[in-house]
Amino acid sequence: GMSVTFYLQNLDGRPVAWSFHNELIVTVKLGNPPEATFFDDSYKPRMVFSENGSALTILQLRVEDAGTYTAKISRVKTFFTLHVYRELVVPRVSCVVRNCSADGCSYTLSCSASSSGSGNISYSWSTGDQLWNEGPTVLVEESPPGEPPPPPFTCTAQNPVSTRNVTVTSPATLCAGKDGWWVM
């Protein structure tokens, strides 16, 4: 996993008490090397102190590490807010509905890349480098017989830490057997 480092300044050699959600995790006496006393041993393998103890690095970040960390020096508190997001999976495109008439078919497609911890995800659809639609769903009209088929189109999903996309070449194949049914 990834890591994060919190830096403190103007410590003047004073010890630091680190808390997470107001629970004391560790105290650090500055020096080379710094002396850490852990009150929650579960953090011990993932916390590293550098720069004589004025920098705290948390390794192998997990979604549950998100929240507020507090460094208390004498009576002064410094707050660090950490957001942790999972990288997105490759999006899945599903056929929501297919409507066919004498003029051809239209398809409503939906794109999803959500999983727990992925945060807010924005979706867009494009053909080539042209933005076509914002949002997870799109309506595709089939070309009438004798006209060239529509070009392939791509769903792009994005969260604060990653971007993933998937390309659809044939909505007709994706929607085979979905006549007038809403499929969720």
Q: Is residue 181 part of a domain?
A: no
15 and 70 housed in the same domain: yes
**Across the beta sheet with 162-168, what order do the strands follow?**
130-134, 122-127, 153-159, 162-168
Classify residue 183: in a domain, yes or no.
no
pLDDT at residue number 94: 93
Question: Can you say whether residue 12 is alpha, beta or left, with left for phi > 0 and alpha for psi between -120 and 50 degrees?
Answer: left
Tens place of pLDDT per residue across the chain (184 aa): 789 999 999 888 899 999 999 999 999 999 999 999 999 999 999 999 999 999 999 999 998 999 999 999 998 999 999 999 988 999 999 999 888 887 788 899 999 998 888 889 999 999 988 998 999 999 988 877 777 777 889 999 999 999 999 999 888 888 886 554 443 3
Of 82, 107, 123, which one is at a domain's C-terminal end?
82
Provide the pLDDT for residue 123: 97
pTM of the entire predicted model? 0.71
Query: What is the span of the domain harbouring residue 161?
Result: 92-174
pLDDT at 180: 46
Decide which of 19, 48, 82 is a domain's last residue: 82
Residue 123 to residue 161: CA distance in whole angstroms: 14
- Which of 80, 88, 107 shows the shortest CA–CA distance to 177? 107
pLDDT at 10: 82
